[in-house]
Structure formats: structure tokens, C-alpha cells
Structure 1
Amino acid sequence: MLLRPPILEALRSFLTLPDFLALSQVCKRLYISKNDILRLICGINATLKSFVADATMFRSQLGQYNAVISGPFALNFFQLGSNKVSKLDIFVKEGADADQFTEYLQRTGEYKNNSEVDMVRSQRQESAIHERFPLSS
């Protein structure tokens, strides 16, 4: 790679993907390193590093326990935005998966955010199933 990491990090924090692609058309060094830089700009591991120390393991645990990242973090990531997000919203189905994922976070101390963990209980709405029978005359 031709550019040093601090320069790449600065580019990543200030440029959107379209901005970067436009700049790579007029800068030979960026054009040559385009694929490597795109991996940094679009990489989930780089984006998760402000929340977890080992993003690869964290993502593995998300998959193992059927957890999904949602909210502003996911929106910002999929829009390839450069906004700083302060919270990571994770949804895990209540039960064993949620308990084991919480244990993983506590055991590894992986989660860096010091805010309280908000547990939102799912509200199940049981709907009665009504069968319709044709009326005979």
C-alpha cells in the first residue's frame, strides 16, 4: 500500500465513497491503492473498532447467537456515511442466545462502550386464530 495508515484513516473519516472514487480518478497514488482503500472505507471491521477490540471474533459471535446489529450504526454503515455513532444496537432473541451472547460480552470485556445495557423485552401479541366457515342456507 502506498499511503500510510494515518492518511488512510483521515480519508476514511472525511470522505464518502463517491468522494473517494472521484478523488481516485485524479490522484495516481489513490488510484493505485484503490482496492486496498476501498476495503478500509467499506470494511465492517474498521467500522466496529470503536466498539470492540476484536471485530472478527465479535462478528463470529453475532452469527453464532443469531444477533443482528441495527439502528444508527447499521444505517450509517450501509449508507457508507462518515458520521460518528455513539451506540451499537444489537438485537438477540430472548432466551439462550441472548444469555450466551451477554456472557460472551461480559467474559471478554469486548464491549468498550460504558453506557448501560438496555434490555428491551419483546412484546408478544398473541392473536386468536379465527376460522371462517361458510354458512349453509
Structure 2
Amino acid sequence: MSEHYMSDYLTDDRKYIKKMKRSEPLQSKEMFYEVLQEWYNWNKGGEDRITQIGDVETGNTKVVHLYLNGNRYYLNGDTKISGVKEFLRNRDNPWKIIPNNRGRMNKVTNDEYDEGIKGFFFYKET
């Protein structure tokens, strides 16, 4: 993946994923995984690294937008590096919609036991 290409998605220092416009979402799971993997690779380890994907004040800020098969998804900016690691580790598993912490069926997981991934705040728009 070229440096220029990732500069569309990561901040110059690569500490954060840039906030995307809802009108300009990622268009494939592959791109979604690539952006997460690149951010994770840059930020894993190292105490000076950032621990969440977005440079945001509030947890419910939608940072990554994804449009797949007529469905919209978003990943919140307070998603933690530990959650990204787990989501990437489960990459080959199918995505499932499970209840969020308020009981609404919109949280996306790829956990093999259909459990939520701690620190990974990924949702399907309903």
C-alpha cells in the first residue's frame, strides 16, 4: 500500500484515523481492514503511542464510515487499540449483528462466539 494512499485515511503522524465524511465511506471490507491494520501496525507497542483510533473528545463520534451491499456502518472514534487487535485477529470470521449495551440490535462483531469485542465500537446504521 502506498504512503500517499494511506494519507487519505491516517493523520500525518499516523496516530489517528481521520474522521471520514458519511458521504465518502469506504466501499469494501478489504479497505476497512487495510485502514485498521495500517493504523494498528503503526501504533502497537510504544508508550508514546495513542490508544484510540480517533482524535475525538466524545466517544460517540463516528470516525470511519463504511458502505457495503446497501448497508451503512460506522466505527466510533473511541475504539481502542485492544479492540482493533481483536477485530483484526478475527478477520476470517463472518460479521454478526448483536445487541449493543442498550439492547438495540446494531453492534457489529466478528467474535467466534458472537460476543461483543471489548473496546471496539462498530455499528450498523438502522
Larger radius of gyration: 1
Larger relative strand fraction: 2
- Range into which the TM-score falls when normalised by the shorter chain: under 0.3
TM-score by length of 2: 0.27
TM-score by length of 1: 0.26
